[in-house]
Structure 1
Amino acid sequence: MRLKSKEFLLLFGIFYAFFLLLAPFDSFGTIPLSFHQGFFSLVRFDLVADDGGHYAYLRSLFFDGNIDFANEPFNSLLKPDVTGYLSNPWTIGASILWTPFFLIGHLITLTLNWLGCSLGEHGYSYPYISMLAIGSLFYSYCGLVFCVKFLELLFPSGSFFATVVTFTSSCFLYYSFIRPYSDANMEFFALSLFIYLFTFYAVRKPDGRAFFICLGISCGLLALIRFNGIIYLAIIITYLTLTIRISRISVTNIVYTLIPFLVVISVQGCCNKVLHGGMFLVSKDTTGNVVSFDIVKMKDILIGKSGLLLQCPVYLTGILGYVDLIRHHKSLRQYCYALFSGFLLQILLVSTLANYGNDYGIRYLASTIVLVMPGIARFFSQLNKTKIFLAVGLVLWQYVQVIQYKIIFDYHNFSIFKAPYYLWLILKDRQDLLLRSSNYVSLVLRGFWGVENYTDAYFLCFIPCFVAALLFLTPYILTVCKKKIAIGFVLIFFLFTSCLIVFNSPKFSQDETDRRHRLYSQVNIPDAVGYTFKMMNDNLGIKVQNW
């Protein structure tokens, strides 16, 4: 992957600056608890919901060698299936991508303990958790690199500007830096990789087998990270149908794409087999989330109190840009239709879900910002001097929401319409909240930069240096990952994980299965997780009535 050094140095600088400005380091060493912050940080995540569910696969496989979640802290939310295993409604994809960073965290924990610390070597001490967060940062950054590269294939200039503006004015500011344990970061990476490969196919017409193997892996990752990611495969189908190229695809290329795809998704199939008794069976919590299509819900998703188009107005510029591309660029017309079909289909699919990810933004749709980037790039390319003012306005609109979410905004009644009023309150009485939480900038400006022990050194010195080195080396890491030996290693790793899940997971006797059903039928979920929720609410920080 050939890179323009100046652009990627600038991308590195912008991304790293936002990391220092937004990522909460939490409380450690001599750092007080007085910082106003939301629930999430580099060392704290939602143990009893999505974050814990994704991580449970990795922790259980590493320490226990299987996916029996009975000894996982979040298991009070789960119920045994017919197999006796606890049913996990979350997929294994995030755990797969976190693996290298988890291993780094394990090595750091062993090293710190050797130096005299007393950290738990169980997967929940701060080196493990912080490395998972940094892993998510890395994948977000890789996604941005792929976005720049696929836009360069379409437009001779403006790809870098469009990518930076889109990212910093979208809800990925929140998921990249404040809640990095969500699977949204990994889906953003996988979708960016997929669209880069798809764009390369549409523009360059490659015929090498390595390309189609990578395409198959990217398709598999989309389905592995989140079940609704499979809908993005409609982009390829739509494009091939519109361009009447299906008959021209060789059987060999289909095989090179299909086999890696099956290898990757086989990991989730093996999990389903162990947990639910069949490769195509999923948790009842997953299927129970699917209801009938509701037009009112779709309206809320688009223009509700946390609606996509209102919280991230940059989507509107993308839609307008697509209209202009379709009208004036016949060569890109089928390409635009294909990408926009994936965007619309994902919205329709999410509109059928009872819980459609209405956290910050519409979490299930956060990654779709990649699909409208060509339109955004086109829109800004048509503007002259005014594009700078529009870009700054879009970024500030997102930033004022990010710094207030779960600090002043009520957790369950978040509304973007509250943002201007609360911003005025902050500017009038609490300017310190403009530097949300215990981020690195806040720590330094408030004088908490002394290193008194290994914990201080880890947070104040090691993490900023490690993140800087990782981001700086990312283009070279991606270049290495293109090589055939790296592609082969990835496929072998997925096959190994599938075999480990199938052959190392014991089958429970009927007596043990019945015992588990009896045990979990007596668990009162609100009581079991009440303390965690209470702790989360106590950490929301300043409330409006306390002004």
Structure 2
Amino acid sequence: MNQSLPATSAAPRCGLDVRRIARISAVSICLLLVFFGPTDNWSWDPSFYYAQIRSPIVEHDLDFRNETHTGAFELPYTETGLQESPWPVGPSVLWSPFFLLGHGLMRLIDPAHADGFDALSLVSTMLGSIGYGLVGLMLIYAIACRLADRFAALIATALCCAATPLEFYLVRQPIMAHTTGLFSAALMLWIYLDLADGEQPEWLSGLLFGVTLGLCFLTRWNGLLLAAVPGIYFLTYLRRAVISRSPALAWLVLAQSAILVVAFLITLTPQIALWYQLHHKIVMMPQGSDAFVASIWPLNLPRALFDTNRGILFWCPFVLLGVIGAGFIRDARLRLLGGLLPTFQLVLIGYRVDWYSGGGFGARYMIELLPFIVPGFLALLQRLPGRTLQRWVLLACGAILILHQLVLLYAVEHMAEGWIDPALYGKGLPLGLAWQWESVLRLLRDPALWLAPRPYVSVERQAFLVNLLAGVRDPQAYRFSLLAAALTPLLVTGLSLFAQLLHKRALARLLTAIALYFLGWAVFILLV
């Protein structure tokens, strides 16, 4: 493993570089005006995530039924007379500071319309979600810099963003858990590498791993798979203690493991509190048995890999390249993680009835594991002889993968116009492959299609540039884009501050603050 550390791991300078923040903000605003167009389809997942913030803060209750969108389905009442929430509370708690900022400003500016569904509250929360995704990408870049040169690290990070469904959940549907899940998983791997390289003291390992594992679990239920990361780390040290016959080292490992459990449980308290308030139980099975196939075998695993409707091979080949390349990773423990975690995730998806991710875009279940995909992708690239060849292959491969994902995104967003069959897509039935090639040719022949308004999306949820080119003159149509642009410098400043916390014990202080914030939310939920 390359032991040289990226700039983010260096000790921070005092203060913030205002000019640098201004430059990054300007570029970010330009990108935002081109790509940011959050959909107004809030069915199921996003409506639950948002209700878990808004309902206790604005309505001072946990009655989600009047806010969640479940279509023709009606969820049963719980023992407390409320509606259950099958989704974790972690994304909601992580977004809550941004919601509170937007809602607080709205109460000052226009209290009569500060209902939590106002544009300022929504956009603030969306930008918060985007921010977590960007932090995840920052961490992926820093991790990649440990394993390859900066050019390869940058392209690999760009591929994580634009050659996977992540791009959709950044700029089209940010009110989903994927950005917070990516942030948590990337932070887990960063902490592991920091500890392995001696950049963090051993006596903080339990705290760092415990809080981060709690975040992984509370952002995506299957995030519990990442317990393999501290498991491998502590087992390595325990083995060393046995071989060297060192009771002190063995006790250190056991003590840190105990601290991990305590930190994990503290971070878990908002979920425990919510379960108790909704069900009068402190432990629940998050999803019913009907979500899984009635077999001991992951029957849908072949479809998750090879189906033409969101199978990895045809919808996110970048992930498959990373899984294949995991076998070439030099560091044995990282090689094990790069192979095991994606495999476990795919097997788990194979057990799900909705292996195709329902009505969501793309092979989205793999987004959270992108930090563990990148090392394998870079290792596979490094099998090529010569850095020049590696760079040319990386650029060519990157361009193809990004174009492919953009075409998929366009086809799904415009499926009502006949690009793909909506009924087949929504039910996870095979779509064939001819439409992908036809879509590529059609979009290359007529580039103006890229900027066509999305059907069944309200005008204020279209991207700024799309509305501008369509001749939209109503100022209200631009309020989401302009509010996001106005708040972007605050987001960039926050990202800069986070980058300065990735050194030594500042990260431990940050995670301690997060754990205490989660504990505070647990108390708040119990008092609602």
- Tell me, yes or no, whether TM beats 0.5: yes
1:322 counterpart letter in structure 2: A
Q: Which residue of 2 aligns with 1:373?
A: 374
Rounded to whole Å, the distance in 2 between the matches of 1:167 and 1:10 is 21
- Asked if the contact 1:401–1:419 (Cα under 8 Å) also holds between the matched residues in 2, the reply is yes
Q: 1:206: how far off?
A: 3.5
Counterpart check, 1:109 vs 2:106: yes
Q: 1:394: how far off?
A: 1.2
- Asked if the contact 2:28–2:488 (Cα under 8 Å) also holds between the matched residues in 1, the reply is no
Q: Which residue of 2 aligns with 1:342?
A: 341
RMSD: 3.2
Counterpart check, 1:92 vs 2:89: yes
Rounded to whole Å, the distance in 1 between the matches of 2:145 and 2:439 is 39
The 1:73/1:207 distance shift into structure 2, 3 A limit, reads closer
Q: 1:91: how far off?
A: 1.3
Q: Which residue of 2 aligns with 1:490?
A: 514
Q: 1:311: how far off?
A: 1.0
Q: 1:365: how far off?
A: 2.5
TM-score when scaled to structure 2? 0.80
2:143 counterpart letter in structure 1: F
- Asked if the contact 1:153–1:203 (Cα under 8 Å) also holds between the matched residues in 2, the reply is no
Q: 1:301: how far off?
A: 0.6
Q: 1:92: how far off?
A: 0.7
Per-residue CA deviations over 1:460-481 (Å, capped at 9, x if unaligned) read 5442242254135413234258
Rounded to whole Å, the distance in 2 between the matches of 1:384 and 1:147 is 19
1:411 maps to which of 422, 425, 447:
422
Rounded to whole Å, the distance in 1 between the matches of 2:124 and 2:423 is 29
Q: 1:254: how far off?
A: 2.4
1:362 counterpart letter in structure 2: A
2:409 counterpart letter in structure 1: V
- Asked if the contact 2:188–2:212 (Cα under 8 Å) also holds between the matched residues in 1, the reply is yes
SS at match of 2:200: coil
The 1:446/1:112 distance shift into structure 2, 3 A limit, reads farther
SS at match of 1:385: helix
Q: 1:179: how far off?
A: 1.4
1:180 counterpart letter in structure 2: P
Residues 36-55 of structure 1 aligned to structure 2 (within 5 Å)? 41=39, 44-46=40-42, 48-55=43-50
- Asked if the contact 1:276–1:282 (Cα under 8 Å) also holds between the matched residues in 2, the reply is no
Rounded to whole Å, the distance in 1 between the matches of 2:195 and 2:260 is 13
2:216 maps to which of 222, 230, 233:
222
Counterpart check, 1:268 vs 2:285: no
Instruction: Name whichever of 204-213 and 215-224 sits farther off.
Output: 204-213
1:317 maps to which of 318, 321, 339:
321
- Asked if the contact 2:147–2:378 (Cα under 8 Å) also holds between the matched residues in 1, the reply is no
Rounded to whole Å, the distance in 1 between the matches of 2:65 and 2:483 is 35
Uncovered stretches (5+) of structure 2, i.e. residues with no partner: 1-7, 243-248, 385-389, 426-430, 455-461
2:157 maps to which of 159, 163, 170:
163
The 1:301/1:367 distance shift into structure 2, 3 A limit, reads same
Q: Which residue of 2 aligns with 1:178?
A: 172
Q: 1:94: how far off?
A: 1.2
Q: Which residue of 2 aligns with 1:536?
A: none
Per-residue CA deviations over 1:417-464 (Å, capped at 9, x if unaligned) read 22221233344567233566421332344455x7x76x4674454422
Counterpart check, 1:303 vs 2:320: no
SS at match of 2:81: coil
Rounded to whole Å, the distance in 2 between the matches of 1:348 and 1:371 is 16
- Asked if the contact 2:410–2:450 (Cα under 8 Å) also holds between the matched residues in 1, the reply is yes
2:354 counterpart letter in structure 1: N
Per-residue CA deviations over 1:361-396 (Å, capped at 9, x if unaligned) read 233232222211101122334424232111111111
Q: 1:345: how far off?
A: 1.0
The 1:486/1:184 distance shift into structure 2, 3 A limit, reads closer
Rounded to whole Å, the distance in 1 between the matches of 2:28 and 2:409 is 16
Rounded to whole Å, the distance in 2 between the matches of 1:439 and 1:395 is 20
Rounded to whole Å, the distance in 2 between the matches of 1:54 and 1:458 is 23
SS at match of 1:182: coil
Q: Which residue of 1 aligns with 2:398?
A: 391
Per-residue CA deviations over 1:111-150 (Å, capped at 9, x if unaligned) read 4426xxx6x3221122222222211111110000111122
Residues 211-250 of structure 1 aligned to structure 2 (within 5 Å)? 211-238=205-232, 240-241=234-235, 244-245=239-240, 248=249, 250=252
Rounded to whole Å, the distance in 2 between the matches of 1:322 and 1:278 is 41
Uncovered stretches (5+) of structure 1, i.e. residues with no partner: 25-39, 506-547
Rounded to whole Å, the distance in 1 between the matches of 2:361 and 2:490 is 29
Rounded to whole Å, the distance in 2 between the matches of 1:111 and 1:297 is 51
2:80 maps to which of 83, 103, 107:
83
Rounded to whole Å, the distance in 1 between the matches of 2:95 and 2:381 is 35
Instruction: Name whichever of 400-409 and 4-13 sits farther off.
Output: 4-13
The 1:471/1:300 distance shift into structure 2, 3 A limit, reads farther
Q: 1:342: how far off?
A: 1.4
Q: Which residue of 2 aligns with 1:65?
A: 60
Q: Which residue of 2 aligns with 1:423?
A: 440
- Asked if the contact 2:95–2:125 (Cα under 8 Å) also holds between the matched residues in 1, the reply is yes
Counterpart check, 1:204 vs 2:205: no
- Asked if the contact 2:65–2:83 (Cα under 8 Å) also holds between the matched residues in 1, the reply is yes
1:476 maps to which of 482, 497, 511:
497
The 1:426/1:390 distance shift into structure 2, 3 A limit, reads closer
- Asked if the contact 1:239–1:338 (Cα under 8 Å) also holds between the matched residues in 2, the reply is no
SS at match of 1:403: helix
- Asked if the contact 2:119–2:480 (Cα under 8 Å) also holds between the matched residues in 1, the reply is no
- Asked if the contact 1:66–1:500 (Cα under 8 Å) also holds between the matched residues in 2, the reply is no
Rounded to whole Å, the distance in 2 between the matches of 1:156 and 1:246 is 35
Instruction: Name whichever of 488-497 and 188-197 sits farther off.
Output: 488-497
Q: Which residue of 2 aligns with 1:466?
A: 487
TM-score when scaled to structure 1? 0.77
Rounded to whole Å, the distance in 2 between the matches of 1:321 and 1:16 is 36
Rounded to whole Å, the distance in 2 between the matches of 1:234 and 1:255 is 16
1:466 counterpart letter in structure 2: L
- Asked if the contact 2:300–2:352 (Cα under 8 Å) also holds between the matched residues in 1, the reply is no
Rounded to whole Å, the distance in 2 between the matches of 1:391 and 1:11 is 23
- Asked if the contact 2:316–2:363 (Cα under 8 Å) also holds between the matched residues in 1, the reply is no
- Asked if the contact 2:129–2:180 (Cα under 8 Å) also holds between the matched residues in 1, the reply is yes
Rounded to whole Å, the distance in 1 between the matches of 2:298 and 2:202 is 44
Rounded to whole Å, the distance in 2 between the matches of 1:447 and 1:10 is 29
Per-residue CA deviations over 1:495-543 (Å, capped at 9, x if unaligned) read 22112223x25xxxxxxxxxxxxxxxxxxxxxxxxxxxxxxxxxxxxxx
Q: 1:265: how far off?
A: 0.9
